Structure 1
Amino acid sequence: MARPPPPVWRRWPMADLADVSVIMPAYNSAATITRALASIAAQEVRPKEVIVVDDGSTDDTIERIKSMAGRMNGIHLRAFTQANQGAGAARNRAIAAATGTWLAFLDSDDEWLPAKLRRSLEVSEGGGLIMSSHNLFNIGPDGTETLNDSRARWLRDPDDPYRTLFLRGFISSSTVLVRRDAVVAVGGFDATLRSAQDYELWLAVLATAGNRFETFADPLLRYTLAPEGITSRIDRKVACSLAILRRHMGVLKRLPGPVVAPLLLRSLIIHYEAVQGYRARGEWGAALLQLVLLPFRTVELLARLPFATGERPDFLARLGPAQEVPLCAA
C-alpha cells in the first residue's frame, strides 16, 4: 500500500522557502507595517518573498520597511514606491513583480497567525485548488478580539462558490492564497473601483476556477477594523457594488444555472445593506431614498442584461510608473 505524501510543511526543510509571494500595499502605514511584516517572518512555513508597494505615503513608511530588511528570517523583502493610486493599483504593481507560483495578500495594518501559510498551502495544494481563504479574528479600535467565522459559514455550496460569493461577498484579501497565473489571466485588480476591488477580483477568479476553491474554518488572521466601521462611505459602496453587478451579470449568463433570480437578489441585498447603514447613522432620508431607487435601478439592470458580456479589461497591462527601492540588510 502506497504511503500518503508528507504534509506540506514537511516538504520544505527549514533552510528552504515556500514558492509564495506575499503582496502588501501600504499607505501611511508607519505605525503598523513593521508588525505586519514581523508576522510574515514568524510563519511556520515562510514565503520566498514579500513585495511591499508604498502608494504615495507622506509618513516614514519606507523607512520602516527598510528597517525590516535584515529581520525577515531569510525572506526576500522588496519595496516599490509609486504616486498615490489606491490599494488596487499597488497590489497590481506587486503582482506584476512577483515570482511565486502562489500569491498571498496581507494588508499593512493586519497580522497573520504563525500557521497561516502552512495551513493555506496544505488546503490548497492538498485539494488541487486554485484559491483558498479562511476565517479571522476582528480587532476593534479598543483592541477587543472577536472571532469572525462567517467566511466558512457562508460557503454552503462547494460546487458553486462563484454564485455564493456573487450574492454575499465574504472573502477578506488578507486570508487569500491564490495561484498567480489565475490572477494574471483575469487581469488583476480593477483599480478604477473605489470600493470592493477585492470582491470583484475574487469573483473573476472563481468564474474560471469552478469548484477549485475552499474557505476553511481556521481563524488565521488578526484583521484591524477601521474606526469608522461599516456605516461609512455608503454611497461609494453602493455605486461600486452596482458597477460590479453590471459586469458580472454577463458572467452569470455564461455559467450554468439561473441568471435573473440571483441578479434581482443581489440588487436587493445591495440596497438592503445601504438602508441598514444609513439607519445606523440616523440618516432616514437617505435610507428612504435607497428604497425609492431600488425598483428603478433593478429595471435598469434588467434592461442592460441582454447586452452584458462580462468582459473584463487587463488592468495589469495599465500599470503606471513605479520605482523599486534598494533595501540593504542591517
Structure 2
Amino acid sequence: MTNPIADAARNGALADVAVLMPAYNGQADVERSLASFSEDATIYALVVDDGSTPPIVAPDVPGMCVEILRMPRNGGIERALEAGIEALATRGFRYAARIDAGDLAFAHRLAKQRACMEATPSLAALGMWTQVVNRAGEPLFMLRPAADPARLRRERLLRSPLVHPSVMLRVDAVKAVGNYRVKYPAAEDLDLFLRLMERYECANLPEPGLYYELNEGGISATKRRRQIVSTLRLQWRYLNVLNWRDWAGLAKSLLHFVTPYRTLQRVKRVLFT
C-alpha cells in the first residue's frame, strides 16, 4: 500500500522501523513522547487514536513523520494495537517499536534494538531496561528484566518478561501468532509475549532504553483487577507444574490482588532501587 507519510520516512537506517503508539486523549503526552526520540535517521511514527475527544492531531516533530490512524470509537488498547500492527504490515514495515503516551525514549533506542534484531533473526521481541519515574520525572526504580531468552522463558510467569512500552517487535512474527487480541483484557502484552515465546525467541538489551511514567490514571492502576484476573488466567493456561517459578508467579499475582496499588509501588521502590 502506498502511503505518502510512510514513504517520506523511508530513508536511512530506520527505513523499516515504525514507532507504534496507542493514544486516548492526552495530546500533550503524545507530543512529549514523540519528541523524546533522538536518532540519526528519519523516524516514522503511527499514533493510533482510540476515539479521543478532541481527536489527536499529528504534531510537527523534527526528524519524524507522524501519521494518525483513527479508530471509529474508543475500543481499548488491545484493539488499537491490533489495528496498528495491521496498518504497519500493510505499509511494509518490518519492526514496530512500542511506546505509550507520556513515556520517553533514551537516545538511539531504535537503532540499538534494530541492530540487535537484525543480528539475531530468531528474535521476535526485544525489550530494554526501564527507568520508572513519577509525573514530575523523578526516578523511582529501575526495571531490569533478564536479557537471556532461555532465562526469560523459565521466568515468564514469575515476572513480566519484557516492559511493553520498551519493546521492538517483528511485525510478521506478531501477525503469525495472531496479533494483539482482546481475549485477556488489560494483559494484552503478556498474552502476546507468551504466544511469541512458543515459536520464537524474546530477549532484553541490558541497558536503559525507556523512561516509564508511573501514572495512576494508566491501565495498570485503573484496570488493575481486570489485569490481574487476565494475568492469572494466562498463568494457569501456560502453567508448567514442574517449574517452581510458575507456581511462585501464581502466588505473586494472588498477592497483588489483595495488595493496594500504592503499597505495591512502595514495595517495588525498595526492591528495585
Normalising by structure 1, report the TM-score: 0.67
Distance in 1 (CA, whole Å) between partners of 2:182 and 2:51 is: 15
Distance in 2 (CA, whole Å) between partners of 1:76 and 1:142 is: 26
1:81 maps to 71
More helix by share: 1
Which one of the candidate residues 15, 19, 41 is aligned to 1:18?
15
Which one of the candidate residues 253, 259, 268 is aligned to 1:270?
253
**Structure with bigger gyration radius:** 1
Change (3 A) 1:125 1:267: same
Distance in 2 (CA, whole Å) between partners of 1:233 and 1:203 is: 21
| Corresponding position: 1:103 with 2:86 | no
2:225 maps to 235
The Cα shift of 1:200 comes to: 1.4
Mean alpha-carbon deviation: is it higher for 264-273 or for 21-30? 264-273
Change (3 A) 1:82 1:39: farther
Residues 46 and 75 in structure 1, CA contact (< 8 A), matched pair in contact too: yes
2:157 maps to 166
Residues 135 and 220 in structure 1, CA contact (< 8 A), matched pair in contact too: yes
2:168 maps to 177
RMSD: 2.8
2:47 maps to 52
| Corresponding position: 1:43 with 2:48 | no
Unaligned runs of at least 5 residues, structure 2: 1-9, 265-273
The Cα shift of 1:150 comes to: 2.3
Which one of the candidate residues 123, 129, 136 is aligned to 1:135?
129
Distance in 1 (CA, whole Å) between partners of 2:251 and 2:141 is: 28
Normalising by structure 2, report the TM-score: 0.79
Pairing 1:1-330 to 2, within 5 Å after superposition: 15=12, 17-40=14-37, 42-47=38-43, 49-59=44-54, 61-63=55-57, 65=58, 67-68=59-60, 71-73=61-63, 75=65, 77-98=67-88, 99-128=92-121, 129-152=123-146, 155=147, 158-209=149-200, 212-227=201-216, 233-249=223-239, 259=242, 261-277=244-260, 280=263
Residues 184 and 191 in structure 2, CA contact (< 8 A), matched pair in contact too: no
1:306 maps to none
Letter in 1 for 2:202: F
Q: How many residues of Structure 1 are paired with residues of Structure 2 in the alignment?
A: 250
The Cα shift of 1:76 comes to: 5.5
The Cα shift of 1:44 comes to: 3.0
CA deviations on 1:149-186 (whole Å, 9 max, x unpaired) are 4224xx5x542522312221142222111211110011
The Cα shift of 1:72 comes to: 4.6
What percentage of residue pairs aligned between the two structures are identical?
Answer: 26
Change (3 A) 1:35 1:234: closer
Residues 20 and 99 in structure 2, CA contact (< 8 A), matched pair in contact too: yes
Distance in 2 (CA, whole Å) between partners of 1:201 and 1:58 is: 29
Distance in 2 (CA, whole Å) between partners of 1:130 and 1:170 is: 13
Letter in 1 for 2:39: Q
Distance in 1 (CA, whole Å) between partners of 2:226 and 2:234 is: 12
